[in-house]
Amino acid sequence: MTTPHAPDHDRLLASSIEVITAHQQPSGAYPACPDYEVYRYCWFRDGSFIAEAASRAGAAESADAFHLWCAKVVTDRAGRIESLVAAIRAGERPAETDYLGTRFDYDGSDTGDVGWWDFQLDGYGTWLWALTTHLDRHGRDAGPYREAIRLTVDYLAATWSTPCYDWWEESKEQVHGATLGAIRGGLDAVDRAGLGDRTVCTGTVAAIDALVGERGVHEGHLTKWLGGGAVDAGLLACLTPFGTVPAASPVAAATLAAVERDIVRPGGGVHRYLGDVFYGGGQWPVLAGFLGWHYARTGRTADARRELDWIASCATAEGLLPEQAPGAGLLAPEHLARWEARWGPNATPLLWSHAMYLILADELGVTQ
């Protein structure tokens, strides 16, 4: 269990980039958590934000290696993607196993049947966003990625409205707001960079906007899933960095207000959603990073710094950040022991937590 303490930013800045680069695999893949039983895989979503942190923090070659790994994962499945897209366009309904996985072994192979669902779409949109952002930041040549970008754009354009698991591997029967935001963000980024079929990208973005406007807004705010009324912390990414709605829009303001009301802790920290029981429903450094990122982008610097300090306060004595900081404020404390008995203490170090800390520190100009 992690108990928050006074933040040591100098130490955590150094340890965070070390954790990311030291655990990156020779293939370029980033493990979600190298010491946690079911996180010894690479997710496109987690990895893309980890690469964004590396890209910002002086480890551009680490980000290069990850993006090349992703491109190979995609191009190695070119035939599968093209067959799936053709089937959907012909009006067929593919089986869940026909879609691309959400996580992969470090060598880029499918994980196989590990008794854990594996169908999410958000990671592919997140990767397109992270890749184009990295290429622009460092003036990299897009040539090695063009075929993978084409395939990913086609895949998302065909599948974006398909119900699938959300960021948390839950509720596969729904179409999730955070998933749509990630897909939209990736396609829009590719379009702006001139790296994809403009008609496909703009047409899909317009279709997502129309559906979100029709079924993805409740009482003025974005929703956890279409037709629902609840919020989820993943919606913070729809505000920043994906820009599903303009940051200054009434929908963005209402979404932030609903998240702050329901799942943000006054002293720092963010829960995933009301009703969460995973490890007792604690507060996630990852999500505090997204909240702080949006605060920083919208001029709420003091609030952003509060989240940065809170994340740093969650680090272990060794400078490692966990997936959750369950020391206080659990939504469902009666469920904590069950998860600890099943898989042990919550995942530490979580590379995505370190990544979001580095991203927020960079936004705020906090350096060693």
Residue-wise pLDDT for 256-278, tens only, equals 999 999 999 988 999 999 999 99
pLDDT at 1: 45
CA distances from 137 to 18, 57, 295, 354 (A): 21, 12, 22, 20
SS3 167: coil
Nearest residue to 76 via CA among 54, 48, 101? 101
CA separation, residue 39 to residues 32, 64, 114, 349 (Å):
5, 22, 12, 11
pLDDT in tens, 51-75: 999 999 999 999 999 999 999 999 9
In 3D, which of 286, 284, 268, 180 has the Cα closest to residue 223? Answer: 180
Q: Strand 221-222 to strand 103-104: parallel, antiparallel, or no bridges (unpaired)?
A: unpaired
The architecture that CATH gives domain 9-364 is Alpha/alpha barrel (1.50)
Is the pLDDT reported for residue 225 higher than 60? yes
pLDDT of residue 5: 64
**Position 205 pLDDT exceeds 50:** yes
Largest CA distance in the chain: 58
Residue boundaries of the structural domains of the chain: 9-364
Helix (H) or strand (E) segment spanning residue 245: none
Give 270's strand partners. Answer: 264
- Separation CA 352–CA 285 (nearest Å): 9
Kindly state the percentage of the chain with pLDDT values over 70: 97
- At residue 215, what is the residue type? R
**What residues contact residue 75 under an 8 Å CB cut-off, 6+ apart?**
147, 148, 151
How many whole angstroms separate alpha carbon 315 and alpha carbon 6?
10
> For the whole model, what pTM was predicted?
0.97
Positions marked catalytic? 166, 169, 323
- Confidence class of residue 101 from pLDDT cuts 50, 70 and 90? very high
Answer whether 33's CB lies under 8 Å from 351's CB: yes
Share of the chain above pLDDT 90, in %: 92
Q: Which residues contact 225 (CB under 8 A, 6 or more apart)?
A: 166, 171, 174, 175, 176, 177
Least confident of 10-24, 87-101, 321-335, 352-366: 321-335
pLDDT of residue 326: 65
Closest CA to 149 of 103, 88, 119, 190: 190
Instruction: Note the pLDDT tens digit of each residue in 322-352.
Output: 999 967 789 999 999 999 999 999 999 999 9
Q: Is the pLDDT of residue 36 over 50?
A: yes
Structure tokens at 255: 């979404």
Residues 10-27 have pLDDT tens digits of 999 999 999 999 999 999
pLDDT at position 114 is: 67
Question: What is the mean pLDDT of the segment spanning 34-59?
Answer: 96
Q: CA-CA distances (angstroms) from residue 324 to 17, 242, 334?
A: 19, 24, 16
Per-residue pLDDT band for 2 (boundaries 50, 70, 90) equals: very low
Residue 169 CB coordination number (10 Å): 15
Is the bond preceding 349 in cis, omega lying within 30 degrees of 0? yes
3-state secondary structure of 233: coil
Rounded mean pLDDT of the chain?
Answer: 95
**In the predicted structure, residue 117 carries a pLDDT above the cut 90:** no
What is the SS3 assignment for 264?
strand
Q: Is 195 helix (H, G, I), strand (E, B) or coil?
A: coil
Res 368: pLDDT: 74
Q: Is the pLDDT of residue 296 over 50?
A: yes
294 within 8 A of 256, measured Cβ to Cβ: yes
Burial (Cβ within 10 Å: 0-12, 13-18, ≥19) of residue 91: exposed
Position 118 scores a pLDDT of 86
User: From the centroid of its chain, how far is CA 100?
Assistant: 17
pLDDT of 4 > 70? The answer is no
DSSP per-residue letters across 279-308 = GGT-B-HHHHHHHHHHHHHTT-HHHHHHHH
Helix (H, G, I), strand (E, B) or coil at 218: strand
- Determine how β-strand 217-218 pairs with β-strand 42-43: unpaired
